[in-house]
Chains A and B, each alone.
Chain A
Amino acid sequence: MAYNMLIVDDSRTVREIMKKILRLTGIEIGMIYEAANGQDGLRCVKTEWIDLVLADINMPVMNGVEMVRKMSEDGLVSTVPVIIVSTEGSTTRIEDLKSKGVRAYIRKPFTPEEIRDVINDVLISVHSVTNPKTIQKDLAILAGAICEVLSKYAMMFGEFGDKKTVFNEKKYFQSHMVYRGMRSSGICINADKEFCRNLASNVLGIENDDIKDENAKDALNELLNVTCGQYLTRKFGETPVFDLAMPAFSEIDSQQFTKNMQKSDSIHIKVDDLDLVAFFKE
């Protein structure tokens, strides 16, 4: 995933240094936006997709503290991580900014390596699906969310655990969606076509024979959509705001299905002898 960055500093020199450091970090960078004061920075955060803000404190028009305060009021600090880079040394000020949701503070003068390390730490904490233990924990939360949605929405009982390999000629459905916010990732569900038909039949409350492929496809997308919301609530609580993209649908063959099932970061759910595989995919 490419990250969009915003640098808010009235010094063009500092902005150039930051841009160079960002390019050198090895992090995949999308756009680098620049603002010379808090007001322009705030406007940028509201109008563009920003994954990380690097902001100074002492700036004309609107300072960094005011910008963070306004971002905090609008609930933006919880979704867009902010790192303060400033000469300001007041512990009270720093603690106040941290209490408003600022993720890290770097005091000027800094070395490029210090900035790199802090950016890496913040991005890892925000988009942490890299640690194997975290992945396993997150997969269990995801599977729990799927089973709850299946139970409430479709009156179906799902259980997760051992993976099994499937070899048959059946077609499988795949639904994928992305969420962005204080953490960003994607969730993918692969399911047996027969399962999707049963799912649609149960959700819509009509006989299986009357289910068309379109209904099965929509039902899988809806399962993923509701699951995604349920997963985020289970993992992060009620407060954080996330942007959820529309689920994207595709058909896959048994070979791809088996491959996805065997991935170490996937979880297999069994529903009435039918198969469903879920995993995180950016």
Chain B
Amino acid sequence: MQIVVDVADMKLSKSKSDVIITYSLGSCLGLVAYDQVNCIGGILHSMLPVAKDKSEADTNPYKFVDTGVTYFFNKLFEAGAEKRNLVVKAAGCSNIINQGTVDMFNIGERNYLILRKILWKNDIFIASEEVGGNIPRTVQLEIMTGKVSIKNAGTERYL
């Protein structure tokens, strides 16, 4: 079954027939985590780096990278994933050019830096990544194999 992750959301699965996908990551972060032993994985799709308003973060923690990553990992651990087995991959965080102007706020880069900070503080390496640039990306995770693919402009590659 295909499970779609919307913007400011996350989905995880332990069913081997599932494929999790999130479309059109621009400056948003697409974070993929997969427990290669227990075959549990998920994708987080966060929009903004930091929740400045606590109530907004409480309503939807996945909207922000700082709260989203923490919630995402906690949900994975509740589902049975173990930290030592996790393979973490990052995508997105690009600097999308919109109508000829570059994103002045550097949201993509800030998203990426917040992610790196959280992972480093929690002793987690990024196994591989495709971040930055100015292209939108669609990211997909196969639960059976843990394979992560990225699609954009008609091309597909494994991460």
Residues of B within 8 A of A113 (CB): 125-126
What's the nearest-Cβ distance from chain A to residue B100, in Å? 32
Residues of A within 8 A of B120 (CB): 112
**Bound form: Cα–Cα A116–B88 in Å:** 15
Binary per-residue interface labels of chain B (115-138) against chain A in the complex, 1 for a CB within 8 Å, 0 otherwise: 010001001111000000000000
Residues of B within 8 A of A24 (CB): 123-125
Residues of B within 8 A of A25 (CB): 125
Residues of B within 8 A of A23 (CB): 123
* Interface size in chain A (residues, C-beta < 8 A): 8
Least CB separation from A111: chain B residue: B116
A20 adjacent to chain B (CB < 8 Å): yes
**Bound form: Cα–Cα A20–B49 in Å:** 25
What's the nearest-Cβ distance from chain A to residue B126, in Å? 6
A111, A113, A116 pick with most chain B CB within 10 angstroms: A113
Least CB separation from B126: chain A residue: A113
A1-34 at interface with B (beta carbon < 8 Å): 20, 23-25
**Bound form: Cα–Cα A25–B127 in Å:** 11
Residues of B within 8 A of A20 (CB): 123
What's the nearest-Cβ distance from chain B to residue A155, in Å? 54
**Bound form: Cα–Cα A147–B85 in Å:** 45
**Are the C-beta atoms of A116 and B123 separated by less than 8 Å?**
no
Least CB separation from A25: chain B residue: B125
**Bound form: Cα–Cα A113–B131 in Å:** 14
**Bound form: Cα–Cα A23–B126 in Å:** 15
Binary per-residue interface labels of chain A (128-139) against chain B in the complex, 1 for a CB within 8 Å, 0 otherwise: 000000000000
What's the nearest-Cβ distance from chain B to residue A45, in Å? 28
Residues of A within 8 A of B124 (CB): 24
**Bound form: Cα–Cα A113–B89 in Å:** 12
**Bound form: Cα–Cα A23–B123 in Å:** 9
**Bound form: Cα–Cα A224–B69 in Å:** 55
Least CB separation from B124: chain A residue: A24
**Bound form: Cα–Cα A139–B124 in Å:** 37
Residues of A within 8 A of B116 (CB): 111
CB<8 Å pairs between A and B, sample of 12: A20-B123, A23-B123, A24-B123, A24-B124, A24-B125, A25-B125, A111-B116, A112-B120, A112-B125, A113-B125, A113-B126, A116-B125
7 A-B pairs besides A24-B123, A24-B125, A112-B125 with CB distance below 8 A are A20-B123, A23-B123, A24-B124, A25-B125, A111-B116, A112-B120, A113-B125
